[in-house]
Chain A
Amino acid sequence: MSDKTQPSAGQRFLDRLKARDAVRGAEPTWIAARRQAAAARFEAIGFPDKRVEQWKYTDVRRIRDGEFALADDADFSPAQAAALTLPIEAVRLSFVDGVFAPELSDTGALPAGASVEPLTRALSDNHEAVGAVLGRLTGVEFSPFAALNTAFAEEGAIIRLAPGTVVETPILLQFLSRAGEQPVMSHPRVLIQAGARSQATVLEHYVGEPAAANFTNVVAEAVLERGALLTHYTLQESPLDDLLVRSLQVEQGRDSRFTSFTVNLGGALVRNDLVADLNAQGAEANYYGLFFAQGRQHVDNHTLVNHNAPLTFSNENYKGVLGDRARGVFNGKVVVKRDSQKIEAHQSNANLLLSDRAEIDTKPELEIYADDVKCSHGATTGQLDEDAVFALRTRGIDEQTARGLLTLAFAGEVMEQVGLDAVAERVELTVAGKLPERFNLGGLVEAALLDEQAFEEVPGHDRND
């Protein structure tokens, strides 16, 4: 294939950056210096192509060759935002095409010791405090997209939890994507600083108008001090033409526990990178993932766990469902450093292909430099069990519903781990609704959820499950 843009690949982005630099107001020196360094890095490496191992299965030309403007307002109809918003009680920051939307945000319910702020405000309050941490985990060398993000980033969310602070209400970061005349790009930053023994649940939600075709390039970092407990959800219900590249890097101190749910249900091209560094004993990372792609969607999940200390634990379970001509990538790497003895690392990836033309590339990688470790990994790919389809049909359930039920069941193992009921139900309903419309399980799932309530309300019976 001829590739006339190759010599100047990424030039369009650099031009856009230059134009932006010209109109942007004065910034602290460190920010300007980082932008420059990031731009230089990006200019030097450009967008990755298939020769780069990390990007072997994911073609980013749709991003590279796109013409993306930067949004300059956050206008969004409140009614429509409400329809897209997850129905949960949450501390909320909303971003429209990357721009902070104060009227769609509400941080009133936070306890003392917790702060959830847009990056712009955190910088104007005390930019040095932000600068000391931001970018420490994810540098510009992490990936061309991290460099691009660092060069452009102006918006995002800073979440800070003082030692011992427990935030019961989930913290929702909502990224709304608008349909407009020209596609836009945004480069949000997320920083979570969880102090010792603090606890919180953070949820990134990507959603938007169905006709949107924007590029969102997120860099998120989380620091968990000793004993901190962080549950992190990423729910990606991006419009089907949206492009989403996202990384989350986590640094964990002693006895901290990080649990991640990466749920992908949308987007034309999605790449998630998840990295945890387990730096002290007792640190534990749990990665759960579910991706469900149809049409020509492409979803790539790259995960990495670094066992940098003895007595650290990781557990990973990703499930993929691919229909039509969708393509999935799962790359799960576990590195056990020298002298990281008595660690445990388990990893599993199971995929379901609903069509002959769907494709998955799955690759577990273990690098172990210690000898007293417990590690396991497994990857399976298969089709629906035709005997089960038949068995369901012999009970009067039509074939499409039977296939839908079995598909939902496949995803269920990961869904069971989801602690936020509203999220679990939303995902379950979305997965059901996202199946080709003939599957139409929405009603059934909804009804079954009601049944469970009714079941619990029937007096005099002993439920022992």
Chain B
Amino acid sequence: MLEVKDLHVSVDGKEILKGLSLTVNAGEVHAIMGPNGAGKSTLSSVIAGKDGYEVTAGSITFEGRDVLEMEIEDRARAGLLLGFQYPVEIPGVKNIYLLKAALNAQRAARGEGEVPAPEFMKRVKEKLAFMKMDPSFLQRAVNEGFSGGEKKRNEILQMLVLEPRLAMLDEIDSGLDIDALKVVAEGVNSLRSEERAVLMVTHYQRLLDYIVPDKVHVLLDGRIVKSGDKDLALELESRGYEWVQEESAA
């Protein structure tokens, strides 16, 4: 589904990713872990198409398409969706406008007509209930005045409505208390299916208690230096990253 090959990325002339390779298949949940500054957020930002990241070498393909050649919105329409670490507040744009516009854009890209209002509202109401969000959220401006937890729930709500093929979650657990974390994790788990995949970037093993990954990767100094299953996360939790560093240097 997603194939990242030998990716080199620089920000302001400084190389952050130094030959990162990663393959995510349909049906899988991957977690990328690593210390601050290892390049975790850079990876998801580049895949989503954020400005200011220069790809100097390597490739990213999603279902056979060259992601780096795609417009930001086309990536999303193809089913590649990023959940932000720090969701942006968008004063004046109601959540309901955002959801509707996004869903219709996706449908238009597939050659489908606009979603009928009753069907749309039914879908949104179900997902709201699932995320334990009050319906009044829809009439509020996107993330404006939301608490950290509300913002993260809102990111997941968007995912549930838009049903991405690959959901990328950047530090989705940061700033969440345990109850909010559980709701967010349930939301992500409900996205899991044979056709979909999830790519999480996180600092902490805690998230992985609730969203159990199929694969865990360690990102150090711009490269994936070790991969394993969920037990690797537990080992990182107890031993830190230094041993991986030593092992990879050896």
Contact = CB atoms under 8 A, between A and B. Distances in A.
Interface of A: 385-388, 390-399, 401, 405-406, 408-410, 412-413, 443-444, 447-448, 450-455, 458, 461-465
Contacts of A399: 71-73
Given A393-B72, A406-B90, A458-B118, 4 more contacts: A390-B51, A405-B97, A408-B92, A458-B125
B101 interface: yes
A83 B134 CA distance: 41
B114 interface: yes
B120 A391 contact: no
Given A454-B118, A461-B135, A465-B140, A397 B90 contact: no
B88 A391 contact: yes
Contacts of A450: 117
Contacts of B104: 444, 447
Given A448-B97, A463-B135, A464-B134, A393 B117 contact: no
Contacts of B158: 395
Contacts of A458: 118, 121-122, 125
B136 interface: yes
Interface string B110-123: 00001001101110
Contacts of A388: 88-90, 93
Contact of A394 (B76, B92, B97, B118): B76
B195 to A, nearest CB: 18
Contacts of B139: 452, 463, 465
B187 interface: no
Given A409-B141, A451-B100, A394 B72 contact: yes
Classify the secondary structure of A's interface with B. Answer: helix
B100 A448 contact: yes
B94 A448 contact: yes
B136 A463 contact: yes
Interface residues of B, number: 48
B50 interface: yes
26 contacts: A385-B88, A385-B90, A387-B88, A388-B89, A390-B72, A392-B101, A393-B71, A395-B101, A395-B158, A396-B105, A396-B106, A398-B105, A399-B71, A399-B73, A408-B92, A409-B92, A409-B93, A444-B100, A448-B96, A450-B117, A455-B96, A455-B121, A455-B135, A458-B118, A461-B135, A465-B136
B122 A390 contact: no
Nearest to A462: B135
B136 A464 contact: yes
A463 B140 CA distance: 12
Contacts of A409: 90-93, 141
Interface of B: 48-51, 71-73, 75-77, 81-82, 84, 87-94, 96-98, 100-102, 104-106, 109, 114, 117-118, 120-122, 125, 134-136, 138-142, 158, 162
Given A406-B92, A444-B100, A451 B120 contact: yes
Nearest to A456: B121
A390 B82 CA distance: 11
Contacts of A394: 48-49, 72-73, 75-76, 81-82
Contacts of B117: 447, 450-451, 453-454
Nearest to B80: A394
A401 B109 CA distance: 15
- Residue of B97, B105, B134 with highest tally of chain A CB at under 10 A: B97
B161 to A, nearest CB: 10
Contact of A455 (B75, B98, B138, B142): B138
A458 B123 CA distance: 12
Contacts of B101: 392, 395, 397, 401, 405, 444
Contacts of B73: 393-399
A391 B87 contact: yes
Contacts of A454: 117-118, 120-121
A406 B93 contact: yes
A391 B84 contact: yes
B140 A395 contact: no
